Amino acid sequence: MLSFSKWLRQRPRGFRHGTHPEAHKDTTSGLPIEHMPMVAEYSLHLAQHAGAPSRPCVGPGERVRRGQTIAEPDGFRSVALHAPVAGTIRAIEPRLHPAGGLSPALILRTDFLADQSTMAATVPEPGDRDGTLAAIQRAGVVGLGGAAYPAHAKMRIPKDKRVDVVILNGAECEPYLTADHRVMLERAGAVVGGLTVIMELVGAERGTIGVEVNKPDAIDALSRACRGDPRMQVVPLSVKYPEGAKQMLIKAVTGQRVPLGGRSFDTHVTIHNVGTAAALYDACTAGLPMIDRVVTVTGPEIVRPANVRVSIGTPVSALLEHCGGLRPAARRLVMGGGMMGHSQVSLEVPTVKAFGGVLALPGTAQRTPEAPCIRCGKCLDACAMFLNPARLATLSRAGDVEGLKQANVQACFECGSCAFVCPSYLPLTELIRTGKVLARRTGS
Ligand code: SF4
Ligand code: SF4
């Protein structure tokens, strides 16, 4: 346990390189989580997680209860999907996905007169490891930090690996987002309870929660919740982007570096998001499915910024309306964070498990014209993976697959730092993303 006064004397840990984009968090960091009321219709994408999309187990015309399974996991790297309200399945049809493109979704019409209490599953027996992992998969729990990786799959440790330390990621280094901050503050007990569940399932001896020092109230709340368990510790982190990325977080907390192309297991560590930990706690202690998540709705062009617990599948238009609507100068809507978020082409996309932010931004859709590279080296300084973004972008433009492989293009995790600092406005991240696809297609 780390008291706040001790923390103040302790130097925050960090990593080399990275950037300092403006945080834009003050508007919402002090706002308690509010609950969004039900809406008339929900679109529930079957592809809400990394891995195989869920398989529908209900059809059009069928009545469902709140929390009922409406799609089953389709294989090990897949999870169940649940009805966020009681109502009737109207259709299964392609809908716009916030990550891009059309994908099949269950359309659920709300029955406002039905019993809206949540169906809970049977809670697994303490010590039943396989039963607990199966319950987590059936509860539809995925990583809430953005990757949406199925939580149960992440906790199946390969036989030749071991985990000594579980790190909970409470960095929330993306500009604008404060959803994790509020969860750490308002549900510190559930976050620490989830950490205990993960430690037991992976056999780890220690649990660490990494939090950037710009959230002292969250550090204090978590430190109090950890009190009495000497295996747990809250680690204050420097405020830097991308502090929450796997490689940077492990470096900051343990001092170890994940080898290029390696996994966190290679350093005997596994990482989960703080919101995921709270959801795991709910699933394992109360049998609750993942039917909602906390989303920060913010940006200069939203009338009433807020942290909102919103049902999965809610149309973004309804969420914006709940927050007072858009201001006239709004030109861009982003789902996710200010650096890695996805620009949207329609307000009718629904919320999905992966995205913890909806940002309403000004500015034109037109991009600032790019200029030639002036070899300033700023992109090299920004890249926390020690890559050469300018060179990778040039190789990508030239279609030089061998060069891209030799320059470790796959080590780029598309954090956007290089493009953010480039004074020539070169679309470095997009070019490198294209380079990764090129190299993958040719067997990188
Ligand atoms: S986007 Fe890739 S190359 Fe650019 S800074 Fe991030 S990790 Fe480095
Ligand atoms: S930051 Fe931009 S201009 Fe500077 S070296 Fe990198 S690519 Fe070139």
Q: What is the pLDDT of residue 444?
A: 45
Q: Is the CB of 307 under 6 A from ligand 1?
A: no
At 365 the pLDDT is: 55
Please say if the pLDDT value at position 197 is more than 50.
yes
Angle subtended at Cα 133 by Cα 235 and Cα 185, rounded to the nearest 5 degrees: 35
Q: How far is CA 426 from the centre of its chain?
A: 27
Side-chain half-sphere CA neighbours of 189 within 13 A: 2
> Rounded to the nearest whole angstrom, what is the distance from the C-alpha of residue 444 to the centroid of ligand 1?
18
Helices (runs of H) and strands (runs of E) counted in the chain: 15, 17
- For β-strands 55-56 and 69-72, DSSP reports them as antiparallel
Query: Lowest mean pLDDT: which of 73-87, 364-378, 411-425, 429-443?
Result: 364-378
Q: Is the CB of 417 under 6 A from ligand 1?
A: yes
Phi, then psi, of 211 in degrees rounded to 5: -130, 130
pLDDT of residue 396: 97
Q: Which residues pair with 232 in a beta bridge?
A: 207
Can you give the residue ranges of every domain in the chain? 4-29+137-286, 292-361, 378-441
Query: Quick check: CB of 411 below 6 Å from ligand 1?
Result: no
Task: Read off the pLDDT of each residue in 336-349 and give the average, rounded to a whole number.
Answer: 93
Among 380, 381, 412, 426, the mutation site with the greatest number of ligand 2 atoms within 8 A of its Cβ is 426
Q: Residue 51: pLDDT band by 50, 70, 90 thresholds? A: very high
pLDDT at 5 over 60: no
Pocket probe for ligand 1: among 240, 340, 428, 434, the residue whose CB has the most ligand atoms within 8 Å is 428
Q: What pLDDT digit, counting tens, does each position of 367-419 carry?
A: 788 999 999 999 999 999 999 999 999 999 999 999 999 999 999 999 999 99
Handedness of CA 176, 179, 182, 183 (dihedral sign): negative
On average, the pLDDT of the chain sits at: 94
pLDDT in tens, 124-180: 998 899 999 999 999 999 999 988 999 999 999 888 899 999 999 999 999 999 999
> Which numeric CATH code is attached to 292-361?
3.10.20.600
From the alpha carbon of 421, which atom of ligand 2 is closest? 1
pLDDT digits (tens, 9 = 90+) for 221-249: 999 999 989 999 999 999 999 988 998 99
Ligand 2 near 375 CB (within 6 A): yes
Residue 158 pLDDT: 87
Q: What string of DSSP letters covers 135-151?
A: HHHHTT-B-TTTT--BH
* Any ligand 2 atom below 6 A from CB of 75: no
How high is the pLDDT of residue 441? 80
CATH architecture for residues 4-29+137-286? 3-Layer(aba) Sandwich (3.40)
For the ranges 92-101, 256-265, 307-316, 394-403, the lowest mean pLDDT is seen at: 256-265
With 80 as the cut, is the pLDDT of residue 298 above it? yes
Q: Of 10-24, 104-118, 146-160, which one has max mean pLDDT?
A: 104-118
Please give the Cα distance from 277 to 209 (Å, whole number): 11
Which residues in 156-302 belong to E strands, given as ranges?
Answer: 165-170, 206-212, 232-237, 269-273, 292-298
H helices of 239-344, in order, are 246-254, 274-286, 316-322
* Phi, psi dihedrals of residue 94, rounded to the nearest 5°: -70, 135
